[in-house]
């Protein structure tokens, strides 16, 4: 996407989000091709702290929330680093949502941070993170049945622990789960998110009851976004700060875009950029961390990207927006 096209792209994407945010009488079908009806009640579960695309995914979700398309119920850190929760809180605060509750994991993989400490040091935050599984319970119990979407863009540690003790609560409250992880229809090597906590991954993939859509490595590997953040975000933006820290403003960002592709599906549905595949089958994860789609209907699907340019444009348009003063 080039900058002269940004205004037209923004009008198109925001018009979609505003129209889709009109109240609806019923919740969307878990595997419907159209946009979700009514605001998506969303919990984000992220390995925030090391990779830039977690920041981009949260920026996308915040912009969607600003249009009324999303109600962000909570954000969970799913890797162990003491700076991640303050960094998430700093980002939420900059977007005008300092009261979003933040959960932290127990027994999670320890992952070095690259930007969460700088965000926590530089930007205001005042939240007090709590145990992620306990927060999941509280948030789910507070919502109507079959109304919550969980967006997993990191390790599956929190979800595995929740499933071990609260399977009935999950089945009653969660409408659908979107998981960025694996490769489809099959992976020859373990994907990053699935490998962060392999026992948790295998447990969730094998036992998670609600309808689930998987977003594989192969999608984000072909999507490159974020090259306008330093032009559209002010110097005070934590999103810009992360891009500057990792890439340097003015340098082309050529890494793949994994987490925002899952976030976009969670808030917008297939939106002429995806189709849903895998009907009649389900995901499996082997002991070595590789995954494959095998026969047997279990309410699971995986995304197939149909329009790379349109998806890239849509994600860029959302992450390039800044909150109103």
Q: Is 274 helix (H, G, I), strand (E, B) or coil?
A: strand
User: What pLDDT sits at residue 27?
Assistant: 37
User: What pLDDT sits at residue 68?
Assistant: 95
Could you tell me the pLDDT band of residue 8, with boundaries at 50, 70 and 90?
A: very low
Residues 6+ apart with CB under 8 A from 145: 172, 173
Tell me the CATH number at 233.
3.90.245.10
What does pLDDT average to over the chain? 90
Residue reference for tokens 């009008």? 11
Answer yes or no: is pLDDT of 325 > 80: no
User: What pLDDT sits at residue 35?
Assistant: 66
In a domain? residue 293: yes
Please state the separation of Cα 168 from the chain's center in Å.
24
Give residue-wise pLDDT tens across range 161-188. 999 999 999 999 999 999 999 999 999 9
What b/e string do you get for 190-210 counting C-beta neighbours within 10 Å, with b at 16 or more?
Answer: bbbbbbbbbebbbbbbeebeb
Bond from prior residue into 153 cis (ω within 30 degrees of 0): no
Answer yes or no: is pLDDT of 23 > 80: no
How many domains, in total, are found in the chain? Answer: 1
What is the number of alpha carbons within 13 Å of residue 110 lying toward its C-beta?
A: 1
Least confident of 75-84, 87-96, 218-227, 249-258: 249-258
Which residue, 179, 184, 185, 222, is CA-closest to 204?
179
283 neighbors 205 (Cβ within 8 angstroms): yes
Answer yes or no: is pLDDT of 9 > 60: no
Could you tell me the pLDDT band of residue 26, with boundaries at 50, 70 and 90?
A: very low
User: What pLDDT sits at residue 72?
Assistant: 99
Backbone angles phi, psi at 213, to 5 degrees: -120, 125
Could you tell me the pLDDT band of residue 7, with boundaries at 50, 70 and 90?
A: very low
Give residue-wise pLDDT tens across range 142-161. 999 999 999 999 999 999 99
C-alpha to C-alpha distance for 84 and 87, rounded to whole angstroms: 5
C-alpha to C-alpha distance for 34 and 26, rounded to whole angstroms: 14
Q: Which one has a higher pLDDT value, 254 or 141?
A: 141
In a domain? residue 256: yes
122 neighbors 241 (Cβ within 8 angstroms): yes
Domain, as residue range, for 60 = 3-319
Query: 107 is written with which tokens?
Result: 């027994």
Work out the average pLDDT over 31-55.
87
In a domain? residue 48: yes
Please state the separation of Cα 244 from the chain's center in Å.
22
User: What pLDDT sits at residue 34?
Assistant: 64
In a domain? residue 324: no
Work out the average pLDDT over 259-264.
98
C-alpha to C-alpha distance for 119 and 83, rounded to whole angstroms: 9
Burial class (CB in 10 A: 0-12, 13-18, 19+), 15: exposed
Mode of pairing for the β-strands spanning 70-77 and 102-104: parallel
In a domain? residue 325: no
């Amino acid at each position: 996407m080039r900058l002269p096209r940004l205004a037209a792209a923004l009008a198109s994407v925001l018009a979609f989000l505003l129209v889709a945010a009109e109240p609806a009488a019923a919740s969307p079908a878990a595997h419907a091709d159209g946009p979700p009806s009514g605001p998506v009640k969303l919990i984000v579960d992220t390995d925030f702290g090391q990779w830039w695309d977690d920041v981009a995914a949260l920026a996308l979700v915040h912009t969607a929330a600003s249009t009324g398309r999303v109600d962000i119920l909570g954000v969970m850190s799913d890797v162990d680093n003491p700076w991640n929760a303050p960094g998430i809180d700093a980002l939420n605060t900059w977007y005008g949502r300092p009261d979003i509750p933040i959960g932290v994991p127990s027994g999670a993989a320890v992952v070095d941070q690259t930007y969460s400490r700088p965000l926590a040091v530089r930007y205001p935050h005042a939240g007090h993170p709590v145990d992620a599984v306990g927060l999941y319970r509280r948030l789910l119990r507070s919502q109507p049945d079959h109304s919550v979407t969980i967006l997993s863009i990191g390790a599956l540690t929190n979800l595995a622990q929740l499933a071990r003790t609260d399977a009935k609560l999950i089945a009653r409250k969660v409408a659908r789960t979107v998981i960025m992880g694996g490769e489809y229809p099959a992976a020859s090597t373990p994907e990053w998110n699935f490998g962060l906590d392999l026992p948790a991954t295998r447990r969730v993939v094998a036992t998670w009851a609600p309808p689930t859509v998987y977003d594989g490595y192969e999608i984000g590997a072909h999507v490159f976004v974020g090259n306008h953040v330093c032009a559209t975000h002010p110097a005070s933006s934590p999103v810009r700060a992360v891009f500057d820290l990792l890439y340097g403003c003015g340098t082309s960002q050529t890494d793949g875009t994994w987490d925002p592709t899952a976030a976009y599906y969670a808030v917008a549905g297939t939106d002429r950029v995806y189709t849903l595949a895998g009907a009649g089958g389900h995901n499996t994860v082997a002991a070595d961390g590789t995954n494959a789609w095998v026969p047997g209907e279990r309410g699971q699907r995986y995304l197939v990207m149909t329009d790379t340019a349109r998806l890239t444009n849509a994600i860029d348009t959302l992450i390039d927006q800044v909150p109103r003063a």
